[in-house]
């Protein structure tokens, strides 16, 4: 190993080259894929993914997703995981930031110039829900990318008491969360649909940003 590379490796620098991503649908039997950013049905109201309609993930993350799907189908054979967003190229992150910068939505998109950025940029995060085998998403109480308190798992208990969420809606979220957490994913406390395959520090150490 050349001296400079050895130094970088010892310093814990991010991997220089992105690892090849895998098509999660080829790893996870029955995975449903509906990339919202490849449609205009998203909070931006724009298709920022264009031709990208495949759920791509790091191989390790795809294997974890297979385990989550098996856990889900073990508990509920009638249900499937349904992916809304997977690996997000850094170039798309830049385009999304340009759309929201200076608007009230700025807080919902990771600044592409920040040290970590979005874990989606490393192919280590996935946004998803649970759907019937026929593709009908379960009622999670809010849509995907709903930017109010009702989408935040940390408020679920209070929202149950306040009747903002029903018991059935919270139970549906738990079906998703329990399958994902059992497979090793890390949930977010402010988005019911988002899960990371590793912490931000760990994702940056293991993977490079996808250009
Ligand atoms: Zn996400």
CA distance 137 to 44: 21
Report CA(5)–ligand 1 centroid distance (Å). 32
Q: How far does the centroid of ligand 1 lie from the alpha carbon of residue 87, in Å?
A: 9
The pLDDT tens digits for 113-140 are: 887 779 999 999 999 999 999 999 999 9
How much distance in Å is there from the Cα of 193 to the middle of ligand 1? 7
Identify the pLDDT of residue 114: 85
| Distance from Cα 120 to the centre of ligand 1, integer Å | 7
- Is 80 exceeded by the pLDDT of residue 181? yes
In a domain, 11, yes or no: no
9 within domain boundaries: no
Is the residue at 12 inside a domain?
Answer: no
For residue 2, the CA-to-ligand 1 centroid distance in Å is 37
Question: From ligand 1's centre to the CA of 89, what distance in Å?
Answer: 13
Cα distance between residue 205 and residue 12, in whole Å: 7
pLDDT tens for each residue of 63-100: 999 999 999 999 999 999 999 999 999 999 999 999 99
Residue 176 in any domain: the answer is yes
pLDDT-based confidence at 15, cuts 50/70/90?
low
CATH code, domain with 78: 3.30.1380.10
* Mean pLDDT, the chain, integer: 92
- Tell me whether residue 4 is in a domain: no
Q: Domain range for residue 51?
A: 17-206
What's the whole-number mean pLDDT along residues 196-211? 94
Ligand 1 centroid – CA 144 distance (Å): 10
The residue count of the chain comes to 211
- Report the number of distinct structural domains present in the chain: 1
CB–CB of 17/123 below 8 Å?
no
Measured in Å, residue 124 CA sits from the centre of ligand 1 at 10
Q: How far is the CA of 101 from the centre of ligand 1 (A)?
A: 18
In-domain check, residue 102: yes
Ligand 1 mean position, distance from CA 42 (Å): 13
Lowest mean pLDDT among 22-26, 82-86, 106-110, 197-201: 106-110
Query: Please, what sign has the CA dihedral across residues 144, 145, 150, 153?
Result: positive
Helix (H) or strand (E) holding 62: helix 59-75
Q: What is the whole-number distance in angstroms between the Cα of residue 125 and the centre of ligand 1?
A: 6
Q: How far is the CA of 61 from the centre of ligand 1 (A)?
A: 14
Calculate how far, in angstroms, residue 150's C-alpha sits from the geometric centre of ligand 1.
16
Q: Is 146 helix (H, G, I), strand (E, B) or coil?
A: coil
130 located within any domain: yes
């Amino acid at each position: 190993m050349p001296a400079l590379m050895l130094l970088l490796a010892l310093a814990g620098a991010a991997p220089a080259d992105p690892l090849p991503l895998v098509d999660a649908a080829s790893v996870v039997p029955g995975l449903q894929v509906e990339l919202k950013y490849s449609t205009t049905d998203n909070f931006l109201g724009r298709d920022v993914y264009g031709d990208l309609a495949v759920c791509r993930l790091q191989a390790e993350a795809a294997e974890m997703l297979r385990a989550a799907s098996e856990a889900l189908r073990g508990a509920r054979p009638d249900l499937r995981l349904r992916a809304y967003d997977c690996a997000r190229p850094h170039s798309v992150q830049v385009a999304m930031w340009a759309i929201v910068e200076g608007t009230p939505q700025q807080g919902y998109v990771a600044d592409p110039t920040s040290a970590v950025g979005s874990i989606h940029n490393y192919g280590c995060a996935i946004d998803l829900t649970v759907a019937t085998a026929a593709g009908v998403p379960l009622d999670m109480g809010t849509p995907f990318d709903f930017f109010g308190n009702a989408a935040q798992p940390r408020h679920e208990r209070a929202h149950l008491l306040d009747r903002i969420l029903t018991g059935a809606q919270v139970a549906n979220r738990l079906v998703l969360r329990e399958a994902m957490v059992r497979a090793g994913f890390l949930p977010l406390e402010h988005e019911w649909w988002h899960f990371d395959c590793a912490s931000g520090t760990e994702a940056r150490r293991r993977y490079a940003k996808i250009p």
